[in-house]
Copies of this chain bind each other. A is one copy, B any other.
Amino acid sequence: MIDASIKGGGAVARDTSRRRLPTREELRVWREFIETAEALRGELAARLQDECGLSPADYVVLLALSEAEGRRLRSSELAAAVGWQRSRLSHHLARMEPRGLIRREDCATDNRGAEVVLTGGGADAFRRATVPHLSAVRELFVDALTPRQLAAVADITAALRTVR
């Protein structure tokens, strides 16, 4: 790890950033990172599905609506709240509505708009899901790391966030 390596003709001193490629070890860490995150996401999703019949997408939508004033939001506000594109939200709401989790209503103040309303069933489903879901996060992520490692995660994600 001290010396530079590589396939592609990397070099030690002057900046060759346009040519340098990751070393085998760097690539290994990258793959571990991305695969671990994916595995965790998948395990959380599977548990949420099995125990509560909700997908992670369902969960974030229900969470956003639960926290909203009057348990309702304009479509575009909801999209912003969960960080989705409008089209993705539309498709997902179309799948949630027949399941009775949400309801769509016309917007009183803007005839173009739509409001998404949390139904009683949706609120129940979210309430039942929250403790199991948070417990799983604790078990699979928080408890798997030391406080020091947890702090390192925060540091690392902040560093990665600054790029692009």
Contact = CB atoms under 8 A, between A and B. Distances in A.
Nearest to A3: B146
Contacts of A163: 139-140, 143-144
Contact of A154 (B20, B32, B138, B143): B32
B36 A160 contact: yes
- A interface, over-half SS: helix
Contacts of A30: 137, 141-142
Copies in the complex: 2
Interface stretch (A5-13, A64-72, A84-92, A111-119): A5-13
B150 A153 contact: no
Given A33-B37, A134-B21, A160 B145 contact: yes
A135 interface: yes
Contacts of A160: 36, 40, 140-141, 144-145
Interface of A: 1-3, 5-8, 17, 20-22, 26-30, 32-34, 36-41, 43, 131, 134-135, 137-150, 152-164
Given A1-B147, A145-B156, A145-B159, 20 more contacts: A7-B139, A7-B144, A22-B138, A26-B137, A26-B150, A29-B150, A30-B141, A30-B142, A32-B158, A36-B157, A36-B161, A37-B38, A139-B163, A140-B164, A141-B160, A144-B163, A149-B155, A152-B152, A152-B155, A153-B156
